[in-house]
Structure 1
Amino acid sequence: MVHTSQPYLGRLAPSPTGLLHLGHAHTFWLAAQRAAAAGGSLLLRNDDLDAARCRPEFVEAFQNDLRWLGLSWTEPMLTQSQRVPLYRAALARLHAAGHIYPCHHSRREIAEAASAPHENGLNDEPLYPAEWRPPPDASLPPLTDPIICNWRFRVPDGETVAFTDAHAGPQSAIAGRDFGDFLVWRKDDVPSYQLACALDDGELGITEVVRGDDLIKSTFRQLLLLRALGLPEPTYYHADLVTDDTGQRLAKRHDALSLRALRDSGQSPAQLIERF
């Protein structure tokens, strides 16, 4: 189910784990340009589910930096940590439909059990071992409150998941071969990025997601979740990543290229945009 005639609605989704850098500015500026060209609008979403790394001062900082760049959004800002009951309700729907199962293996155990390295660049995690999966018709234990074990989404083995990216072109992956069963809820009672992001995009009516091309692999997983939950699918524009002088992708550790540092050095938004 893909959006057809709805007005354009995009989103900016920074995570308050550090200062925004030039790469963020590039992606968010592209999102604003595409929304403006379509006569649409943007939502601002605070992706703050990583409680150990998120800090309130970075929430204020990214809002100031985005306004300095000249970007605007529809108020109020959405905050993921305030939407956890919605994610939990989605988890219950997945549980009732038999799309998920509990996982008691650690990340290290899964990595050590991987039979071969993945060479196609698609995976950011090893394939979950098929022998650890419960049978599809096995009865599921109830969801506890709080959640005390990991829950994984069972991908449809052999199914091709495909979409046409507005920038990168046709994309496809085979579930169970190119990516495996993935986390939707963590044992510390926190929804996964994949579930929270997919639910937000579907329920909020986002018509296009603009983000970095390092997240193409996540799109296949999120499309499966959207379909399992019966939610509309946005279209996607995965932008090229901005790199530093050595060719490494920018990260929040690149303090010299943070928007705060660039602004303090006297650079203007127009000068930054010329670098895109």
Structure 2
Amino acid sequence: MLKTAGDRPYRGRLAPTPTGRLHLGHAATFLRAQERCQAADGTLIFRNEDLDPQRCRPEYAQDALDDLRWLGLRWSEGPDCGGPCGPYNQSERQPYYLEAWAKLRDAGVIYPCTRSRRELRERVAAPHEEDEEAEPLYPPEWRPAPGTGQDAQEPGEVNWRFRVPDGERISFEDELAGKQSFTAGQNFGDFLIWRRDGVPAYELSVVVDDLAMAITEVVRGADLIKSTARQLLIYRVLGAELTPRFAHCPLIRDEQGKRLAKRSDALSLRTLRERGLSPRQVQDMAR
């Protein structure tokens, strides 16, 4: 098992994706991230996760900076203030992701995949709508022979998947949710690390950036707990000596019990501001 950050100086991060306006759930997670950072007398980093050119918009990135400042959050490094680990916009960090892709290729743990998400969802039952970002288990019989793709010089216009070590148990102690354990090939299957449109997948990009920015603790929503197991596999192959600690926050839900989404505009920070609520009132709502 990989060792966690240990006694290194605390470095936390806020990492919004500018595909819509931030809502009360984001506020709850980011406030918790700042509180944990302040308690450790650490450094907080703002990272704009704007990789998807089809869904990310610069106005939402600016809204995130403005709304989180209004809410009372403060960071020491970010796209608006610079810092030693920039650039802090993921759209400007493609060389780092390509370098990591090449390491995974050389290690023989990834392979090119021509199957689409639609094919995968049609092949197996789609996940419950409450876990709509999840992906069904990739059928092992769809895997190519070991070594496929190792002669590729660049990702090209195909998806790339990480070949999980079937049956391996990946365990970690979550700072908020307690002991977590997942079995590769059962709880999750081969997962995307690179998309056919040239965009690195979330699992790869956050590992690369958290390593490069020396993040010691990742505070994020509980819907991403399983992602941690996948990411620990990537950390290991990339040769990380230490991984961040992880703290997954409970999700805020609406009156119907569904978790908030960016389409929940009634509880967006911008809407709450426009209704005349104060930062303190929104902080209280988020807690």
Q: Report the TM-score, using the length of structure 1 for normalisation.
A: 0.94
Runs of 4+ in 1 over 3 A off after TM superposition: 116-119
* Identical positions, percent: 54
User: Which deviates more from structure 2 when the two are superposed, residues 1-10 or residues 78-87?
Assistant: 1-10
Query: Displacement, 1:117?
Result: 7.1
Match of 2:252 in 1: 242
Query: Displacement, 1:139?
Result: 4.5
1:202-256 Cα offsets, whole Å, 9 max, x none, are 2211111000000111111111111110123111110011111111111111111
1:82 aligns with 2:92: yes
Match of 2:163 in 1: 154
CA contact (8 A) 2:108 2:150 kept: no
Give the Cα separation in 2 of the matches to 1:269 and 1:139. Answer: 53
Residue from 207, 219, 232 that aligns with 2:228: 219
1:256 aligns with 2:266: yes
1:35 aligns with 2:37: yes
User: Which deviates more from structure 2 when the two are superposed, residues 103-112 or residues 54-63?
Assistant: 103-112
Q: Give ranges in structure 2 of 5+ residues lacking alignment.
A: 80-87
Give the Cα separation in 1 of the matches to 2:195 and 2:127. Answer: 24
For 2:211, the aligned partner's letter is G
Counterparts in 2 of 1:179-198, with a 5 A limit? 179-198=188-207
CA contact (8 A) 1:156 1:176 kept: yes
Give the Cα separation in 2 of the matches to 1:60 and 1:184. Answer: 27
CA contact (8 A) 1:16 1:48 kept: yes
1:175-198 Cα offsets, whole Å, 9 max, x none, are 011100001111111100110011
Judged with a 3 Å threshold, the aligned counterparts in structure 2 of structure 1 residues 139 and 250 are, in CA distance, closer, same or farther, namely: closer
Query: Displacement, 1:144?
Result: 4.7
Q: Give ranges in structure 1 of 5+ residues lacking alignment.
A: none
Query: Displacement, 1:76?
Result: 3.4
Match of 1:8 in 2: 10
Query: Displacement, 1:135?
Result: 2.9
CA contact (8 A) 2:10 2:43 kept: yes
Residue from 204, 209, 214 that aligns with 1:200: 209
For 2:65, the aligned partner's letter is Q
Match of 1:228 in 2: 237
1:80-132 Cα offsets, whole Å, 9 max, x none, are 01001100000000001101011111112222333x6779x989111111111
Give the Cα separation in 1 of the matches to 2:280 and 2:118. Answer: 46
Counterparts in 2 of 1:107-126, with a 5 A limit? 107-114=117-124, 124-126=134-136
Judged with a 3 Å threshold, the aligned counterparts in structure 2 of structure 1 residues 88 and 248 are, in CA distance, closer, same or farther, namely: same
Give the Cα separation in 2 of the matches to 1:215 and 1:75. Answer: 24
Match of 1:50 in 2: 52
Count residues in correspondence. 273
Q: Please give the secondary structure, in 2, of the residue aligned with 1:195.
A: helix
